[in-house]
Structure 1
Amino acid sequence: MPLSEHEQRLLSQMEQQLLNDDPKFASAMKGSVRRGGGSAGRLLLGGAGILLGLVLLVVGVAYQLVIVGVLAFALMLGGAAWAISSPRRPSGPGPRGVVRGDGSTGPRPSGKGGRGTSRGSSSFMERMEERWQKRRDEGGGR
């Protein structure tokens, strides 16, 4: 059932609000949407692996070959995993790094252990320290 014009307008307003409030989350969600390119081929190949594994499993049970049954099960499991997994994106041109508050991108900040410290994490720590100080001050004045 298609959305009415009012519902479409509300949805686009919510999308715009999300983009304005949290552009990093919005861009991550846009990237996680499955696209049709290549997914049909993955499903067919995964389904073929499952069917071949099923046939091998029947053969292994019929001839009482445990190793064939184990390999068939592994093939079915691999086929199912291949079918439901998303294809990896090639690392080509395009923005990489951190999405800033205004929606622009920049290089990932370097830091210890390969993790960058962003403005959001330092302000979080500052808020935690302020809360701690406030609690200490309120508790000591009793």
Structure 2
Amino acid sequence: MPLSNEEQKTLEELEASLLAEDPRLAHAMGSSRTPKRAHGRRAGLAGLGFLLGVCLLLVGMQTVWVLSVLGFVVMFGCAILALGSWRHMSHEPKEKVRPPKSSPHPSNDFMTKMESRWRRREDDGRL
């Protein structure tokens, strides 16, 4: 389920405040993503594996049926790996989130906004 614009903006503010307060933690949490190049290499290797699976499938049809089953399993696994890598390549962020420039203490502004939103929801009876 995609985030609404308001939720996306709130998430970006959270990321920016984390980056401003503790850059080492933000870098450690953001370093779990593998680069686009690694995903491309993985997708390419999965394509080669898929072709190997096709060869096994065809050879197995002429000789032993077990090779055909093994070829199909290899093809299926490589297709899943390639699609997953391709999906990760297309969903990587294009630009980094920058901390807000207006306030020397961005976390105070953020917390103030969150508290005011919370109070408005309490007053409206949505909680």
TM-score, structure 2 length as denominator?
0.43
Q: Which structure has the bigger radius of gyration? A: 1
Question: Which protein, 1 or 2, shows the higher relative CO under an 8 Å CA cutoff with sep ≥ 6?
Answer: 2
Structure ranking higher in helix proportion = 2
